[in-house]
Structure 1
């Protein structure tokens, strides 16, 4: 049975196109907190899988400053993936290794 994901999550039982184009973006920060009055800037452009790997290679204290922007897929509730959702996706059995 199909389950609708909660906001900020993804549906585990739906395939993900890991080769979809994606951007890793970083929010400007002050005291390691996002400055939401500013616009995030691109730090990496590649595939969704590459962006997830790049994000997870960042220092843990800074990971909350990043988002991944990709094309909307049936498994996602939007086109912006939070660091938490990206980490969950990386743990999927079908996530491409290196």
Structure 2
């Protein structure tokens, strides 16, 4: 979850990680692996470009910011952040 009124550093370093899966569901006793390392904005764009059936298998890990409750963002958080007016479109 994030706070809408607090600025977000979209150029902060971030990792897009994917959980190992079985029948399109996360395998809980496994560790997610790195798919992409770049900026928070890039990771959000890449995550939202994934097929909708697979999007729940991903997380974005970034440095802690005042706007975030955690340093791990869920796909739902990423989608909401992408809709912010200040999100860099390209």
1:60 equivalent in structure 2: 52
TM-superposed CA distance for 1:36, in Å, is 1.1
Partner of 1:26: 18
The CA deviation string for residues 8-58 of structure 1, in whole angstroms up to 9 with x for no partner, is: x10000000000000000000001000010000000010000000000000
Q: Aligned equivalents of 2:57 and 2:64: distance in 1?
A: 21
Length-normalised TM-score, structure 1: 0.91
| Larger of the two Rg values belongs to structure | 1
1:74 corresponds to: 66
**Counterpart-to-counterpart distance in 1, 2:28 and 2:38:** 24
Supply the RMSD in Å over aligned alpha carbons: 0.3
Q: Any gaps of 5 or more consecutive residues in structure 1?
A: 1-8
Q: Which runs of 4+ in 1 moved over 6 A?
A: none
Match for 1:49 among 32, 41, 48?
41
